Structure 1
C-alpha cells in the first residue's frame, strides 16, 4: 500500500450571527482550519487537520500551501503504515537519515509552528488510513481503550456576570455535563472583572459542578496571581493558560502561588515543549492539540510523559472534526486522560464535517467504534466551504 495523493484545503465555515461570541480573539465570524485528504493506491482515504491558530479563526493559505507543495509531495509513494518514520523524517528534514542512524533528533530549523502543524495533519491522516486498512479503530492500534465512553466537559462561557450563570446552565441542560469551562482574562479588562464573572458562575451553578477557567494566556504573572486570589473560594477545577506559554517561569510562579491546578499546552508543539512544562513544574494538566502538537503520534508521547510524572492529560479539542476525532482516540488510549473538551460555543467545523451527529449525552461521549479515527467525512461540506485559490 502506497500513498498516491495528498490534497489540503483552507476550509472556512461561517458562524451564524446569533451564535457568534466575542472574546480576547475579537468577534469570531468563521471557523477555519486546514483539512487534509490522503489517498492510497488501494483507494483508502485518510483525513487530517492542521491548525496555525489556537482559536477557531486564522489565515490558512500558507499552511495549505506547505501541505500541498512541500510536505505532501514528500510522502507520495511512502507506505502509510510507516507512521513513526514519516513523522521523524519530516521533522528532521535533510538530516533524517543521519538522525535515524544516530538515534536522536536533528531537526531542521523550523521546529515549531506551521511545520509541526503540517506534520500533525499528515500524522492524523496516516493513522486514519492504517485503522481503515486493518478494519480497526485507532484506539485499538494504540493498545486498546480504557472505556467505551468518557466524561466530557462543556467549553464556552463568554457571557457577562449577570448572564454567565444562565449561559453555563444552558450547557449543562444540553448535554447533562457536570463540568463547564468559561473564558476570563483580557476580554474582561481587569482581574477583578474576571473574578466577578467567575464568582457569579459558581454561585449560579452550586458546588457540585466542576468549574474551569481559561485565560488564553492573556494575564501577566502579577494579574494571574491576583485573579487566583480573588477566586480562591470558588473551588476551580483548573486555571488554563494563566500566562503566555512563552513565560514558563512565570507559569510556574502562578502555580506555586495558588492552590488551583494549572492546565496548559494548547499552543505547544512536540513532546519537547511539554517536557519543558513538566520539568519547570508549570502545569498539573497537559493539553496538547492534535492538530498542532504533532498529531496522534506526538499526543500519545505527551500522554506518556504525563503518566510518567503523575500528571493528567486533557487534549485541547476546540477544533474541526478530524482533530476532534483524533483527540477521542488519544483520550481512549492514554492512561493519563480523564476528560474530553466539547465545544458549546458555535463550532460548525465539527458538526458540518461529520456525517454522523457529534453529541454528548448524560455528560459522556462515546468512543467511536468505526475503523480509523471514526470520522465519516462529509466531503460535500469540504467542497462547499473550501476557499478557492
Structure 2
C-alpha cells in the first residue's frame, strides 16, 4: 500500500476555521487527520501542501518512517501538518487491520471517559446567564464545566472587574452545587503576580484547576505560579517539545497536564507524553478545542492510556450542520463519551457539507475583545 495523494479540506466553523487532512492510498482506504490552529488556518493548510510530497509514495502503515522524513525536513519541528498526516496514517492502519486505534496502542483500558463541557457560556456576560447555563448542563449529566470568567480583561484586574468576576464564579458554583467540578480558563492572559493573586481567591470556589494563567512558554514562571498557588495550575496545550512536559511535571508543579496532540506530533507524540507524565504520577486531560474529528482522535487515546483524568469537549455547542458534516461521531451521554469500537478513528467526513461551509477569514475569536465568548467569529462580534 502506498500514499497516492494528500488533500486538505478547510471548513468555515464560525469561531475557528477547521483544517482537515485526507490521506488517500493505493488500496482505496482514506485516513483523516486535523491541523486546525486558530489564526493559522492558511499557514497550516499550506504547510500540508508544502510537505506532502515527502509522504506521497510511502507506505502509510509504516507510520514512523512517514513522520521521520517530514520531521527532519522541517528542521526537527513538529508542526500541525505533520501531526495531522500522522493521525491519518493511524486511521488507515486501523482500517486496514479492521481494529480501532486503541487496539494498536495496547488495548482498551476503559469503556468510556468522563468529559468536561467547554464553549457553553455564550450569550450575555452576566452572573445570572452563567448560572442558568451551568445549571442546565448539570441537569444533563455533566459533572465538570470549564469557563473563562475574565471577559476582555488582560494582564491585570481592577477591583470592579475582580468583584464582577467573583460574582460570575459564585453564580456558577451555587447553580451546580458542590459536586460538579469547575475549571477556570486563564487563556495565558495574566502576569505571574496577578495569576498568583487570583489563584488565592479562586480557592473559595473549590475549583479543580486554574488553566494557563500565564504564557506557558515561560515554564520557569509557570512553575513559580504553581508553587505559590493554593489551587492546581495546569498547562500543556502550548508545549511543543517533550522536554517541556518533562521539565514541568518533574518540578512537582502539577499533577494534571492538558497536551494538544496537534502540537506534539499526533497519536505517537501523545503516547510519548503520556509515558513521561505517568513516570511522575501526572494525569492527562487532552486539550480539545477543535472539531468532532479531534474528539474522536482523543477518544482513541483515552481508550488506551491509563493516566487520563478527564476529556475536554465542545461538541454539544457546535452549529447544527456539524452533525451532517460528521454524521457518525460519539455524542456525550450523562457526562461521558464512549470509546468508539469502529476501525481506525471511527469517523468519516461529508465533503458535500464541507463545501457548503467554506473558509472565512473572519472565522476566529477576537480574544480579549468584549463579546468573544459568543464564538461567532470576528466579523459578528465587533
TM band (smaller chain) = 0.7 to 0.9
Q: Which residue of 1 aligns with 2:41?
A: 60
Write out per-residue CA displacement over residues 39-66 of structure 1, whole angstroms, 9 at most, x where no aligned residue: 110000000101333xxxx241222111
Q: Deviations over 1:235-265 (max 9, x none)?
A: 1111111111122122112211123122211
Task: Determine if contact 1:185/1:219 at 8 Å carries over to the other structure.
Answer: no
Q: Residues 71-122 of structure 1, C-alpha deviation per residue, up to 9 Å, x if partnerless?
A: 11110111111112322222122xxxxxxxxxxxxx716x2xxx51111111
Residues 151-202 of structure 1 show CA distances to partners (whole Å, capped at 9, x for unaligned) of 111113354323211111222233x111111113463462724333222221
- Partners of 2:51 and 2:142 in 1: how far apart? 40
Whether 1:382 and 2:351 are equivalent positions in the alignment is no
Structural RMSD (CA): 2.2
* Deviation, structure 1 residue 381: 2.2
Q: Structure 1 residues 2 and 42 mapped into 2: Cα distance closer, same or farther (>3 Å)? A: same
Specify the alignment match of 1:11 in structure 2: 11
Q: Does the Cα contact within 8 Å between 1:186 and 1:219 map onto a contact in 2?
A: no
Assess if the C-alpha contact under 8 Å between 1:120 and 1:293 holds in 2: yes
2:129 is aligned to: 163
Report what 2:369 is aligned to. Answer: none
Q: Distance in 2 between matches of 1:188 and 1:171?
A: 26
Residues 1:136 and 1:339: Cα distance change in structure 2 (over 3 Å): same
* Aligned counterpart, 2:144: 179
User: What is the CA distance between 1:364 and its match in structure 2?
Assistant: 1.3
In 2: Cα distance, 1:367 partner to 1:248 partner: 33
Alignment partner of 1:180: what SS?
strand
2:244 pairs, out of 273, 276, 290, with 273
Cα separation, partners in 2 of 1:340 and 1:80, compared to 1, 3 Å: same
1:89 aligns with 2:69: yes
1:49 corresponds to 2:29:
no
1:73 to 53, 57, 72: 53
**For 1:221-300, what aligned pairs fall within 5 Å after superposition?**
221-300=192-271
1:101-116 equivalence runs, <5 A: 108=75, 111=77, 116=79
- Aligned residue for 1:269, secondary structure, equals coil
Shift of 1:126: 0.6
1:134-153, aligned counterparts within 5 Å? 134-153=97-116
Question: Which residue of structure 2 lines up, in the alignment, with residue 2 of structure 1?
Answer: 2
List gaps (5 residues or longer) in structure 2: 362-382
Aligned to 1:373: 345
CA contact (8 A) 1:186 1:218 kept: no
Secondary structure at the counterpart of residue 224 of structure 1: helix
Residue number among 324, 340, 359 corresponding to 2:331 in the alignment: 359
Q: CA deviation at 1:204?
A: 2.1
Shift of residue 280, structure 1, vs aligned partner: 4.2
Q: TM-score, normalised by structure 2?
A: 0.86
Q: d(CA) in 1 for partners of 2:191 and 2:170?
A: 21
The CA deviation at 1:345 is 7.1
C-alpha distance after superposition, 1:313-334 (max 9, x if no partner): 0001111132221111111111
> Number of paired residues?
351
User: By how many angstroms is 1:298 displaced?
Assistant: 0.5
Alpha-carbon offset, residue 142 of structure 1: 0.7
Q: Secondary structure at the match of 2:34?
A: strand
- Are 1:40 and 2:3 an aligned pair? no
Secondary structure of 1:365's match?
A: strand
In the alignment, structure 1 segments of 5+ residues that lack a partner are 15-29, 94-106
SS across alignment from 1:268: coil
- Summarize the Cα distance change of 1:263–1:350 in structure 2 as closer, same or farther, 3 Å threshold: farther
TM-score between the two structures when normalised by the length of structure 1: 0.84
Task: Report what 1:216 is aligned to.
Answer: 187
Question: What is the rounded CA distance, in whole Å, between the counterparts of 1:11 and 1:163 in structure 2?
Answer: 30
Q: Give 3-state SS (helix, strand or coil) of 1:385's partner.
A: coil
Looking at structure 1, the residues matched to 324 and 213 of structure 2 have their Cα atoms a distance apart, in angstroms, of: 32
Distance 1:380 1:306 in 2: 41
Q: 2:167 matched to which residue of 1? A: 196
The answer on 1:124 being equivalent to 2:90 is no
* Per-residue deviation, residues 190-244 of structure 1 (Å, max 9, x unmatched): 2724333222221222111111111111111111111111122211111111111
In the other structure, the counterpart of 1:332 is 303
